[in-house]
Amino acid sequence: MSTSYTRRGFLGLTSAAALGAGLSACTGGGASTGGGATQGASNNLRLFTYEDDSTIGLLKAQVKKFDEQNGTTTTVDSLPGSGAAVYPDKLRTELLGGKGPDVWRIWGGQIGSPFAKAKQALDLSKYYDKYGWDSKINTAAIGGMTFDGVKSGVPFLALGVGAWYNKSLFAKAGVSAPPTTYAELEAVNDKLVAVGVTPCGLGGKYGWDIMRLFEYLLEHTAGPDLHDKLLTGAESWDRPEVVEAFTLFKKWQDKKWLPQGALALDPADVEPWYVQGKTAYTITGPWTEAAAILAAKKSSAAFGNFELPTDKSPARHSGFVEGYMINAKSGNADKAAALIDFIVQPATQKAMNITASTVKGAEPDPKTLPLAAQWSQKYGNNPFYTIQDQAFPKKQADQYFSVQSDLLQGKVAPDAASKKMQEIVSAWAKS
């Protein structure tokens, strides 16, 4: 059937039937967009984010500065610690309720994509021209928030994921320097297990954390070109490189290089384990310095980071972007864009301690965040592959996590897992 309806139209119609014409008029049956009509212009803005306690104060201080300069009043609401599994739901509900924020923070790729495709996020092309963001912001990062050719977001963070380790546990295992090849990494894992230390702390609840290991293994076995093609469905997953990656993935669990029962562990619990001395390292990004190391009142000097060795050229790590979108129904789009422009100024980024800014001149301060600065200097310019939970839509990402789960439980063999992945990706690519 091809009849098309608008959600508001239906709501209006049924309201009229149920409650009479007077009440239906209140619900606005004639509007053609979800979540209510365009809000009126005012000096009040609302920004929705997922900053945690360690960073929300810095953001609020900068927003206050913007308000003072522009005569606006901006409310900052945050849903900390929820991750990409919950935050987009809350945002979506707010938008459909007609009281969505004027500006919201969001991840790029397939997490931000639905908001752009549903036209809940404003096309920001004219603001890109007005503020010259194209020349100020990292081009690859802008690509991560461009959907079907429409620039729907302004990236301010381009985060790389690597290994963050506890130096004392490496020393306990007799490891004096980070590994530079995959074979060396495996040798490090063996040495750590031999002294009773679990090497890599990752949690499988939600799927996305333990996925960071598999995507690294896939980069190691498939290499950059093939990996990129696999993510878009341009090449079949049913191939030896993928089977090898799944085989290695299982090996990491079987050799106890992952915590026991990793599949059930919550990433929020497991990630700080390397700081607490329960695991030797984890796979995470530069935010961990503020969120795990400094929050635990530990010295950054006791920890280190390194890019996971892929043995491939160019050396790449997993990465993703985060940025801001503007509500398509906001009556304050100009002021919202001005707020975003203020946020992506190098001075603001530095004041907010942004660890991997997309803006030149906002590199992390080595005095306050030495490890983030070190990562930025050593690996910040290396290319990255799209983190896999942003490469696939949520449904396909969950199916993919399910395959990983079955593999680690021994319910499917690596070759069957590869075939299953091919079914999932090809079905998505065709849709």
Positions that interact with other proteins (CB under 8 A): 1-8, 10-11, 14-15, 18-19, 32-34, 85, 88-89, 92-93, 95-96, 114-115, 117-120, 198, 204-207, 259-266, 269, 278, 393-395, 398, 401-403, 405-406, 409, 411
> How far apart are CB 304 and other proteins at their closest, in Å?
24
- As measured in angstroms, the least distance from the Cβ of 1 to other proteins is 5
Per DSSP, 85 falls in state G
Nearer to other proteins, 385 or 392 (CB): 392
Q: Is the Cβ–Cβ distance between 324 and 59 less than 8 Å?
A: no
Least gap, CB of 282 to other proteins (angstroms): 15
Strand-pairing partners, residue 320, are: 159
Q: Between residues 96 and 140, which has the closer beta carbon with respect to other proteins?
A: 96
Q: How far is the CB of 94 from other proteins (least distance, A)?
A: 12
| Minimum CB distance to other proteins smaller for 374 or for 422 | 422
Q: How far is the CB of 88 from other proteins (least distance, A)?
A: 8
Q: Are 96 and 34 in contact (CB under 8 A)?
A: yes
Residues 6+ apart with CB under 8 A from 143: none
Using DSSP's 3-state secondary structure scheme, residue 48 falls into: strand
Query: 166 — phi, psi (to 5°)?
Result: -95, 115
Residue 18 or 21: which CB sits closer to other proteins? Answer: 18
Q: Taking a C-beta distance cutoff of 8 angstroms, is the pair 168, 192 a contact?
A: no
CA atoms within 13 A on the CB side of 79: 17
**Least distance between other proteins and beta carbon 146 (Å):** 19
Residue 118 or 315: which CB sits closer to other proteins? Answer: 118
The residue among 61 and 195 lying less far from other proteins, judged by its C-beta, is 195
Task: Report how far residue 295's alpha carbon sits from residue 274's, in angstroms, rounded to the nearest whole number.
Answer: 13
Helices (H), 132-272: 133-136, 139-143, 167-172, 182-194, 208-232, 240-254, 267-270
Return the number of the residue (17 or 314) whose C-beta is nearest other proteins.
17
What is the distance between the alpha carbons of residues 30 and 270, in angstroms, rounded to a whole number? Answer: 50
Shortest separation between residue 401's beta carbon and other proteins, angstroms: 7
Structure tokens at 278: 């329960």
Q: Which is nearer to other proteins, 14 or 232 (CB)?
A: 14
Q: Which is nearer to other proteins, 95 or 280 (CB)?
A: 95
If the CB atoms of residues 110 and 247 are measured against other proteins, the closer one turns out to be 110
Closest to other proteins by CB, 192 vs 369, is 192
For residue 157, the minimal CB distance to other proteins (Å) is 23
Min. distance of Cβ 28 from other proteins in angstroms? 12
Is the peptide bond prior to 314 cis by the omega test (within 30 degrees of 0)?
A: yes
DSSP for 319-367, written as a single string: EEEEEEEEBTT-TTHHHHHHHHHHHTSHHHHHHTT-TTBSBTT-PPPTT
Q: Return the HEC string of 115-159.
A: HHHCCCECCCHHHHHHHCHHHHECHHHHHCCEECCEECCEEEEEE
CB of 278 to other proteins, least distance (A): 8
The least distance separating other proteins from the CB of residue 165, rounded to whole angstroms, comes to 19
Other beta carbons within 10 Å of 423: 13
Pair 205, 224: CB distance under 8 Å:
no
Coil/strand/helix, residue 160: strand
d(CA 237, CA 400): 12
Residues in the chain: 431
